[in-house]
Amino acid sequence: MKRLNIACVTLLTLLLPIAHAAGDADLRPCVDMQNKATAERELDCYRQIASDSPSADQTSKPILSARATGLEQEWAPSNATLVTHKLNYALIYAKSSQTNNAPGSPNPQNQVLTALPQDDRDMKVQLSMKHDLADFDRYGSLWAGYTLLSFWQVYDESHSRPFRENNYEPELIYSINPNQMFGESRLNPSILNIGVVHQSNGQANPRSRSWNRIYVQTGIERNFPGDRKLVVLVRGWKRISEDISTDDNPDITHYLGHGDIELRYSQNKYWEATLTLKSRSAQLDLAAPWTAWRLLTLASPGKHNTNIHLHYFSGYGESLIDYNQRHDTWGVGLSFPFE
């Protein structure tokens, strides 16, 4: 019996930190049992509280995680429900050099015959997340991604501030870390992604635009003095062919090409510049916390959850409805932390 009591006391000592996290109110029934019940019953009470309390892994699991530092970490298995995929921003003011009042396409079914005047100002918003579906240890991981790009005519009061365009982009991505799969080598890229992606604007003819692609993406990164980092991502894609009679945009690859290059240059978590190049377009994004711009003099020097975001686009395909129209757009707004 003496050995049993010693064992019970030892177990209680181990369980008390967990039980204490549940709060004094939850512990009260067990405390009241002291000197009134057997050690076994008292131990069962603490066991029950410990089993009902959420574990550290459960309580610390984030719903949304910012993009990790470095490509290998960015595509490493994550316990977060959602992880940042592409840039996430809200441009409060975005002005275009040319509006697309009558969008067209080589397919006669996709010709807008009645022009609708558009405001040259939008609120441009991009939300992009991914979810870790399955992990295969050294053989990579499977991800589901989703990007929503919206153009809101918030300044067009006369037409009841409509959404001019929404682009929906779900994708499935198999990501490989070559160093883990094939062994360490200086010749290996940091990551290798193979994906299938659908993009559409969800509209009916004649404004319907959509296409499907399979792609391969690879990337490398280099570190420089002063906590600076350069990331280079190169992606090539092949459009999945469609019936010519129902193809909304049969010449889309003529304007958007067969791939893109993304360059990221950043200094730790202080600022990041992103340049995305396609065959006939370029997009530049520059993001930094409030204090880096010296626009919020009363802000503390600590961490911030929001960046000031500057944006510039030039060329074809800013949105699907504008895939064959060339224009320039500049904007300013806010973005989520990039790391």
Give the pLDDT confidence score for residue 49 in this predicted structure. 64
More confidently predicted of 34 and 192: 192
Q: Are 12 and 138 found together in one domain?
A: no
Identify the CATH number of the domain in which residue 93 sits: 2.40.230.10
Q: Are 184 and 40 found together in one domain?
A: no
* pLDDT tens readout for residues 273-306: 999 999 999 999 999 886 655 554 444 445 566 8
Q: Which of 131, 198, 254, 258 is catalytic?
A: 198
Predicted confidence (pLDDT) at residue 135 exceeds the cutoff of 70:
yes
Q: Considering 59, 74, 108, which residue would you say is the last residue of a domain?
A: 59
Phi, psi of 122, rounded to the nearest 5 degrees: -130, 165
Q: Are 164 and 73 found together in one domain?
A: yes
Q: Are 41 and 74 found together in one domain?
A: no
Please compute the mean of the pLDDT values over residues 308-322 and round it to a whole number. 97
Full domain range(s) for residue 221: 63-335
Q: Which of 65, 128, 131, 200 is catalytic?
A: 200
Q: Are 89 and 130 found together in one domain?
A: yes
Q: Are 130 and 29 found together in one domain?
A: no
Predicted confidence (pLDDT) at residue 45 exceeds the cutoff of 80:
no
Active site residue 55: no
**Average pLDDT, whole number, for the chain?**
85
pTM comes to: 0.80
* pLDDT tens readout for residues 106-129: 999 999 999 989 999 999 999 999
Active site residue 60: no
Phi, psi of 302, rounded to the nearest 5 degrees: -80, -160
Quote the number of domains for the chain.
2
Q: Are 41 and 109 found together in one domain?
A: no
Predicted confidence (pLDDT) at residue 241 exceeds the cutoff of 70:
yes
Q: Are 12 and 104 found together in one domain?
A: no
Q: Are 111 and 138 found together in one domain?
A: yes
Beta carbons of 46 and 17 less than 8 angstroms apart: no
Phi, psi of 321, rounded to the nearest 5 degrees: -65, -20
Q: Are 171 and 238 found together in one domain?
A: yes
* 3 state SS of 41: helix
Give the pLDDT confidence score for residue 239 in this predicted structure. 98
Count of residues making up the chain: 339
Please compute the mean of the pLDDT values over residues 212-222 and round it to a whole number. 97
Give the pLDDT confidence score for residue 78 in this predicted structure. 87
Least confident of 66-75, 280-289, 309-318: 66-75
* Strands in the chain per DSSP E: 64-65, 82-84, 89-96, 121-135, 141-152, 163-176, 191-200, 210-224, 228-239, 259-267, 271-278, 281-289, 307-316, 326-335
Distance between CA atoms of residues 171 and 67, nearest Å: 18
Q: Are 51 and 169 found together in one domain?
A: no
Q: Are 50 and 165 found together in one domain?
A: no
DSSP assigned state of 250: T
- For residue 336, name the pLDDT band (cuts at 50, 70, 90): confident
Task: Characterize the bridge pairing of strands 121-135 and 141-152.
Answer: antiparallel
